[in-house]
Structure 1
Amino acid sequence: MSGRISVGLIFGGKSAEHEVSLQSAKNIMDAIDHNKYEVTLIGIDKQGNWHLNTNSKYLINENNPKLIELNKTNQNIAVVPGRKSDQILNISDSGSLEQLDVIFPILHGTLGEDGSIQGMVRLTNIPYVGANVLGSAVCMDKDIAKKLLTGAGLKVANSLTFRRSDKEDISFQQVKEKLGIPFFIKPANQGSSVGVSKIHSDKEFTRGLEEAFSYDHKVLIEENVVGREIECAVLGNDSPSASLPGEILPQGDFYSYETKYIDENGAILDIPASLDDQQVNKIQETAIKAFKELECQGMGRVDFFLQENGELIINEVNTLPGFTKVSMYPKLWEASGLSYSGLIEKLIDLAIERHSQDQVLKNSVD
């Protein structure tokens, strides 16, 4: 590579977390070293159309999380897998984009965090930031992730899993007897607390099921774990490292979508968390183990409940954490001595490193 590294930043997406992705893209654009990286902005609207954007006006209401929108352009693009060059074409003028050196998909939620975009980008043979197809898919599905974590001897919250076909057989009383009150209902394949409800009554139960099933065909009903909400960021490929942990102190009933991405006063972020050295080491070691067990690479954020008896319960592992102004992942690394721009550079380096390792693998039998 000569001169600046060409980075394709893909953001937006056909997801309930579309607006979160727009915020993340803005913060990455603000923090990336433009002397080292030349960024091509590729925005995906809610209908799934891909737009080639300019740096000057790629977002509408960019400073308002409630009103932020993708600026749709008349420059649409398409991906052509298999070519050694010209993998991404501007179909509006029949021209090809300049060769991209690496792709940074900052697409949160469905089709962006579940292995879909990762599989497509892999077909283009361009390095990409973040987890591979398998790691993305298993972490996105909380039911599958829980089974793998449990199999590795790591503790997770007790839960029940139901599919849409089970819907008529789920009763509030049945769940109450197994998990106690209150409990949570959440879509198995969503993030950012989208579709999550805290349940205290039969009426809330019916409404919560409808909400969760509106986002996914499978839902998790999970016990309410009492404990401190601790998060730890992980960075790396084969030999990952963990950040200092941080603590979330929600000012509402729980750490909801509104609290995470819209209301900057919705939660207090204690970074680094008030923990002793033994607790910090245990959290970091467990975070790295969970990261490896779920086949993660590049980056991940591991969310815990720390109970009074010192036991750690893993809530989830997020392979594409937020990069918004209030997001924990970059804040945790800043507290650990890695700047926002330094973090972006490290993630791009890790993507290129993994891609180089993949290129030496054989694809034919001698």
Structure 2
Amino acid sequence: MSTTVAVLFGGQSGEHEVSLVSAQAVIAALDPTRYRVVPVGISKDGRWLAGSGAMAALVAAADSTRLPAGAHYPQEDLEADEVEVAHTGGAGQVSVARLLPPGVDVVFPVLHGPRGEDGTVQGLLELAGVAYVGCGVAASAVGMDKALMKAAFAAAGLPLLPWLLVRRHEWQQNPEATYNQIEAALTYPVFVKPANMGSSVGVSKAKDRDGLAEALAEAARYDRRIVVEQGIPAREIEVSVLGNDEPEVSIPGEVVPSGEWYDYHAKYLGGQSAIHIPAPISADLSEEVRRLALRAFQSIDGAGLARVDFLLDKESGQLWINEVNTMPGFTPISMYAKMWAASGLDYPTLLDRLISLALERKRIS
């Protein structure tokens, strides 16, 4: 008897387009002899669409300038079995039971960013009593919020670069005081990020006060809380985590950005960034990366999966933890699956493991 998997994609965040490509890869790789796949798309205005035409509908409405390069996009019209399940964008209340088609055994929420990766959808699925892939409500919320994440990392004794939290209203009311506070604590360059966003959306590198003002304005478009971090000349080292109570860690990889740093364009649009798996680092450093990644995952009470990102100072050799991504990209160029493949776990088998972990977590919760 096959397992019915609802693959949830799209969403109302700035990472909507990345989610579409991630979900296409997941849907294509799920074994049809083991799974009955139900595509469920969430439009940018909050409509939930279920059926084989859901992906085409969302791709047709997507911002073509933000769709990752190198992926196939369906162009067919909505299919006959396409139905609007519900609409959550308005002021009215929606029954949780109406958001998913009947008979779903497990949900694979291939959603990135706020209103998807941040615990909101996870809480919805908890209320619905449905198993789902990935971290729970608390871990998803902490993993999405860079300020809360850093607080959890600090409590776990993980190495963090200096950083500050800036609140949008305080910056807007007194920008000079905000600039002075940042410049007193950090030195240029600094990275300015929305606290709740991923895929480098809204992130800027500021090299002086004018750049800082522009960067804060850009981040403020996406969040009322903004993280400002000390910039360093760094290599970007990443590692994948898989599991519930006894998580495993892949071999590390390294991303060499095509631009000055690994922004949205370098990740998804340019197609020129280099990936090295395994990362060209010493065996001792590789082991340290894996050890710290496991600690970071457990510090937020992670479950299912996460990708943990590090910064390796090119000058001092110091290793710093950057962040945990609780629903990393599953696009054809994404690191999470590539690092597991290099560790001996191919993509279809990885998806099998993730679904099994979701069902296991539901059984023991």
Q: Same fold (TM over 0.5)?
A: yes
> Is 126-135 or 69-78 further displaced after alignment?
69-78
From 93, 115, 121, give the equivalent of 1:117: 121
Match of 1:261 in 2: 268
Q: Secondary structure at the match of 1:344?
A: helix
Match of 1:364 in 2: none
Cα distance in 2 for residues equivalent to 1:236 and 1:200 = 40
Q: Deviations over 1:185-229 (max 9, x none)?
A: 110011110101110122222211111111001001110022221
Match of 1:9 in 2: 7
CA drift at 1:88: 4.2
From 25, 31, 34, give the equivalent of 1:33: 31
2:133–2:304 Cα contact (<8 Å) kept: yes
CA drift at 1:55: 6.3
Cα distance in 2 for residues equivalent to 1:342 and 1:75 = 31
Cα distance in 2 for residues equivalent to 1:65 and 1:322 = 18
Task: Name the CA shift for 1:273/1:117 in 2 (closer, same or farther; >3 Å).
Answer: same
| 1:161-310 equivalences in 2 (<5 Å) | 161-167=165-171, 168-171=173-176, 172-265=179-272, 267-307=273-313, 308-310=315-317
Match of 1:139 in 2: 143
Q: Deviations over 1:150-185 (max 9, x none)?
A: 111101121110112211334434423321111111
Cα distance in 1 for residues equivalent to 2:131 and 2:181 = 48
CA drift at 1:107: 0.8
Cα distance in 2 for residues equivalent to 1:144 and 1:228 = 24
Structure 2 stretches lacking a partner, 5+ long:
68-72, 87-93
Task: Name the CA shift for 1:127/1:162 in 2 (closer, same or farther; >3 Å).
Answer: same
1:234–1:300 Cα contact (<8 Å) kept: yes
Cα distance in 1 for residues equivalent to 2:201 and 2:251 = 27
Structure with a larger share of its residues in helix: 2
1:19–1:65 Cα contact (<8 Å) kept: no
Q: Deviations over 1:60-114 (max 9, x none)?
A: 479x774569977761114744xxxxx3468xxxxxx341110000110010011
Match of 1:355 in 2: 362
Cα distance in 2 for residues equivalent to 1:310 and 1:292 = 25
The residue type paired with residue 266 of structure 2 is T
2:240–2:336 Cα contact (<8 Å) kept: yes
Is the aligned partner of 1:77 residue 2:85?
yes
Cα distance in 2 for residues equivalent to 1:107 and 1:127 = 16
Task: Name the CA shift for 1:181/1:342 in 2 (closer, same or farther; >3 Å).
Answer: same
- Identity among equivalent pairs (%): 41
Match of 1:363 in 2: none
Q: Secondary structure at the match of 2:83?
A: coil
Aligned CA RMSD, in angstroms, stands at 2.1
Cα distance in 2 for residues equivalent to 1:352 and 1:53 = 23
Task: Name the CA shift for 1:233/1:30 in 2 (closer, same or farther; >3 Å).
Answer: same
2:53–2:78 Cα contact (<8 Å) kept: no
The residue type paired with residue 180 of structure 1 is T
Structure 1 stretches lacking a partner, 5+ long:
82-86, 91-96, 359-366
Cα distance in 2 for residues equivalent to 1:69 and 1:259 = 24
Task: Name the CA shift for 1:242/1:89 in 2 (closer, same or farther; >3 Å).
Answer: closer
The residue type paired with residue 213 of structure 2 is T
2:311–2:319 Cα contact (<8 Å) kept: yes
Cα distance in 1 for residues equivalent to 2:54 and 2:83 = 15
Cα distance in 2 for residues equivalent to 1:302 and 1:204 = 28
Task: Name the CA shift for 1:203/1:234 in 2 (closer, same or farther; >3 Å).
Answer: same
Cα distance in 2 for residues equivalent to 1:58 and 1:28 = 15
Cα distance in 1 for residues equivalent to 2:22 and 2:237 = 22
1:113–1:320 Cα contact (<8 Å) kept: yes
Cα distance in 2 for residues equivalent to 1:89 and 1:164 = 33
> Is 256-265 or 52-61 further displaced after alignment?
52-61
TM, length-normalised to structure 2: 0.89
Match of 1:50 in 2: 48
Aligned residues: 343
Q: Deviations over 1:215-272 (max 9, x none)?
A: 001001110022221000000000101000000101201100111122211x101111
1:22–1:69 Cα contact (<8 Å) kept: no
1:213–1:219 Cα contact (<8 Å) kept: yes
Cα distance in 2 for residues equivalent to 1:336 and 1:156 = 27
Q: Secondary structure at the match of 1:58?
A: helix
